[in-house]
Amino acid sequence: MNRREILEKADEFISASRDEIYGDPARNHERIAEMWSAILGIDVKAEEVALCMIAVKMSRLCQTPQHEDSWVDIAGYAALGGEIADEFFQAVDQMKDKGGV
């Protein structure tokens, strides 16, 4: 699988069809963060969920580097994590503009 195929497959995985099954990805990551926060006793952010899931996939690749799905999943989690972080920082900037932060 080449880089374009990896990115195209990752795009399929994070597309609207997955939203129908799992709901909005940002909300899903927020829900996971809330659960991990309760379990771990620390504050976990939604974008950190994406980073941790990337770490899981990286660990698996250390054992089986030829496993294409893990490479695809990393690309997908990176895209979702970047989107979630961007939305968060846009919201912070808007609050700053309004004098709230």
**What integer pLDDT is reported at residue 19 of this predicted model?**
79
**Phi, psi (rounded to 5 degrees) for 96:** -65, -45
Total Cβ atoms within 10 A of residue 61: 15
Question: Using an 8 Å Cβ cutoff, are 49 and 80 in contact?
Answer: no
The predicted pLDDT at position 91 comes to: 62
pLDDT above 70 coverage of the chain, percent: 89
Mean pLDDT of 14-21: 78
77 CB-near residues (< 8 Å, 6+ apart): 50, 51, 53, 54, 57
* Closest C-alpha among 68, 100, 86, 67 to residue 25: 86
